[in-house]
C-alpha cells in the first residue's frame, strides 16, 4: 500500500468515527448510516493494526530515506574531497609549469648573456690585435730611428756594389762597409765577411739577440732595418729591395751560418739564390743545397717532414713570396704565418726555417712561451726542430763568379 492511500483511509475512518459517535449521542433517524458506522467501528481494530503497520512502514521508509540521504551526503563529501584534491593537483601542476617556464626564460636570458659575452670577448680580442699591431708599429718606428749606426772603428772607406767588389777593390778585412744598391745609388751599410771561404760575402741578414725587433711590417722589410756591427753579430735585414737589387745583378751563391747554444756551428750553402722584385712579392729562388762536411743540417728551404706526411709540401719555402704580418702571402688559409712566426719570411704553411723569428735564451722553448701558440723562434727545422731557438744566424750572398775574379 502506498502512503497516500493509507492517509486517505485514515481520513475516511476518522470521518466515519465522528459520525458513529454522533449517532450514539443522539437518536439516529438514519439507521443505514449508523449501521455503516457500526461496521466501521468494528473494523477499528483492524484499521489500528493497519495504521501501526503503516506507521512501521513509514518508519522503515524514513530510515531508508535517511540512509540514502546519508550515503548521498557521503558521496557528495567524497566528491567534494576529490574535487579539492584535483584542484590542489592542478594548482601544483600549474605551479610546476610556471616554474619550468620561468626556468626556461632564465636559461634563455642566460644564453643571450653568454652569447653577448662571447661576442664582446671576440670584439675585444680583435681590438686587442689591432692595438698590438699599432703598438708594434710604434716600437718599430722608435727603434728604427736609432737603429742603423756606423761605428768609427769599422773599416769602411771602400765602397762597392757588394762585398765581393769591395774585396776586389782591396777591402780584405771583414767589417762594416757601404755598398750601392739599385739605380738610385743609395749607400747602404752592410757587414762584409772577407774571411770565410775566401771572403767576398755580403751579409744580408744577421740575428743574434732580440735587441732589434724583427716582427715588422712590409715597408720595413722592403727598405731594411736593424743595426750593423763591426764583428758580424749585428741584428739587421738588408732589405728586400736591396737584396733583389744585388741578386738581380748576377748569379749569386748564398750561405747560411747557424749556431746553437752549445757552441756548435754549421752552415748550408746554396749555389743559386735570388729574390724577385716587389711585383712578385719578393719571391724566393733558392736551390743547389750543399751540406756542411762537419755535419749536415739539411735543406730546410726544401721543407721538412716533422712527422706528418705532407709536412715537406707545406713547409717548402722555395718559390714562395715574402710575407709580413700586414701582408699575408702565405698558403696558410686560416691564419697569418708572419704574425704567428714573429717576423717576415718566405712562409708556406708555415715554415721549416725562419731566421727572423725570436731568440730564446738557452734554445728550448714551448707553446706557452709564445703569443699565439705556434713556433716563433729563430729555427732551422731539419737540424734542431721547431721548438729550439738558434743562438745566432746569418745569411750571406756572393757572386758565383767570385773566386775566378779573385784569382784574376
Q: Which listed range, 244-252, 266-274, 324-332, 357-365, lies at the site for Ca ion (CB under 5 A)?
A: 324-332
By C-beta, is 188 or 316 nearer to Ca ion?
A: 316
Alpha-carbon distance of 260 to 345, in angstroms, equals 21
Neighbour tally for 389: CB within 10 Å: 22
The minimum distance between CB 306 and Ca ion, in angstroms, equals: 19
| Using rule CB under 5 A, residue 325 touches Ca ion | no
By C-beta, is 193 or 330 nearer to Ca ion?
A: 330
Residue with grid cell 750571406, as numbered in its chain: 396
By C-beta, is 117 or 319 nearer to Ca ion?
A: 319
Q: Which of 328, 369, 374, 400: binder of Ca ion (CB under 5 A)?
A: 328
By CB under 5 A, the count of residues binding Ca ion is 3
Alpha-carbon distance of 37 to 23, in angstroms, equals 8
Q: Which listed range, 15-23, 129-137, 161-169, 321-329, lies at the site for Ca ion (CB under 5 A)?
A: 321-329
The minimum distance between CB 336 and Ca ion, in angstroms, equals: 5
- Using only the alpha carbons of the chain, give its radius of gyration: 57
> Per-residue b/e over 342-353, b at no fewer than 16 CB within 10 Å?
bbbbbbbbbbbb
177 half-sphere exposure, CB direction, 13 A CA radius: 29
Q: What is the DSSP string of 151-181?
A: -TTS----EESSHHHHHHTT--S-EEEEEEE
| Using rule CB under 5 A, residue 330 touches Ca ion | yes
Alpha-carbon distance of 7 to 204, in angstroms, equals 139
The minimum distance between CB 132 and Ca ion, in angstroms, equals: 18
By C-beta, is 259 or 328 nearer to Ca ion?
A: 328
Q: Which of 332, 346, 380, 388: binder of Ca ion (CB under 5 A)?
A: 332
By C-beta, is 177 or 282 nearer to Ca ion?
A: 282
What are the backbone angles phi and psi of residue 327, rounded to the nearest 5°? Answer: -145, 100
By C-beta, is 77 or 280 nearer to Ca ion?
A: 280
By C-beta, is 332 or 346 nearer to Ca ion?
A: 332
Scanning residues 154 to 213, which ones bind Ca ion (CB under 5 A)?
Answer: none
CA distances for 391 relative to 147, 194, 197, angstroms: 21, 22, 22
Q: Which listed range, 95-103, 113-121, 325-333, 399-407, lies at the site for Ca ion (CB under 5 A)?
A: 325-333
The minimum distance between CB 320 and Ca ion, in angstroms, equals: 12
The minimum distance between CB 338 and Ca ion, in angstroms, equals: 8
What are the backbone angles phi and psi of residue 225, rounded to the nearest 5°? Answer: -160, 170
Positions touching Ca ion (CB under 5 A) are: 328, 330, 332
Amino acid at each position: 500500500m502506498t502512503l497516500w492511500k493509507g492517509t486517505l483511509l485514515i481520513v475516511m475512518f476518522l470521518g466515519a468515527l465522528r459520525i458513529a459517535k454522533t449517532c450514539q449521542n443522539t437518536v439516529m433517524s438514519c439507521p443505514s448510516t449508523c449501521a455503516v458506522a457500526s461496521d466501521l467501528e468494528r473494523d477499528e481494530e483492524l484499521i489500528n493494526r493497519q495504521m501501526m503497520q503503516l506507521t512501521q512502514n513509514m518508519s522503515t521508509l524514513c530510515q531508508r530515506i535517511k540512509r540514502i540521504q546519508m550515503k548521498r551526503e557521503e558521496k557528495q563529501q567524497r566528491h567534494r574531497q576529490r574535487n579539492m584534491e584535483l584542484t590542489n593537483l592542478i594548482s601544483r601542476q600549474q605551479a610546476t609549469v610556471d616554474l619550468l617556464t620561468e626556468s626556461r626564460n632564465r636559461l634563455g636570458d642566460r644564453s643571450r648573456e653568454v652569447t653577448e659575452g662571447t661576442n664582446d670577448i671576440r670584439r675585444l680580442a680583435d681590438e686587442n690585435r689591432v692595438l698590438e699591431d699599432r703598438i708594434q708599429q710604434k716600437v718599430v718606428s722608435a727603434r728604427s730611428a736609432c737603429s742603423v749606426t756606423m761605428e768609427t772603428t769599422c773599416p769602411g772607406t771602400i765602397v762597392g756594389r757588394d762585398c765581393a767588389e769591395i774585396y776586389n777593390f782591396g777591402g780584405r778585412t771583414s767589417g762594416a762597409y757601404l755598398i750601392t744598391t739599385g739605380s738610385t745609388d743609395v749607400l747602404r751599410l752592410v757587414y762584409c765577411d772577407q774571411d770565410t771561404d775566401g771572403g767576398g760575402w755580403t751579409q744580408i741578414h744577421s740575428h743574434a739577440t732580440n735587441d732589434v725587433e724583427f716582427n715588422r711590417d712590409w715597408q720595413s722589410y722592403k727598405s731594411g732595418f736593424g743595426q750593423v756591427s763591426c764583428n758580424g753579430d749585428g741584428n739587421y735585414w738588408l732589405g728586400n729591395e736591396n737584396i733583389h737589387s744585388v741578386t738581380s745583378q748576377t748569379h749569386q751563391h748564398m750561405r747560411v751560418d747557424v749556431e746553437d747554444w752549445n757552441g756548435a756551428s754549421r752552415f748550408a750553402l746554396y749555389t743559386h739564390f735570388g729574390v724577385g722584385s716587389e711585383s712578385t712579392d719578393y719571391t724566393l729562388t733558392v736551390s743547389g743545397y750543399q751540406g756542411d762536411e762537419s755535419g749536415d743540417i739539411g735543406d730546410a728551404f726544401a721543407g721538412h717532414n716533422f712527422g706528418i706526411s705532407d709536412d715537406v709540401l707545406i713547409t717548402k719555402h722555395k718559390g714562395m713570396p715574402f710575407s709580413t704580418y700586414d701582408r699575408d702571402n702565405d698558403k696558410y688559409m686560416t691564419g697569418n704565418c708572419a704574425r704567428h712566426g714573429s717576423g717576415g719570411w718566405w712562409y708556406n704553411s708555415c715554415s721549416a726555417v725562419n731566421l727572423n723569428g725570436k731568440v730564446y735564451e738557452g734554445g728550448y722553448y714551448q707553446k706557452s712561451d709564445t703569443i699565439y701558440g705556434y713556433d716563433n723562434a729563430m729555427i732551422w727545422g731539419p737540424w734542431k726542430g721547431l721548438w729550439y731557438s738558434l743562438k745566432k744566424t746569418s745569411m750571406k750572398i756572393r757572386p758565383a763568379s767570385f773566386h775566378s775574379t779573385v784569382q784574376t
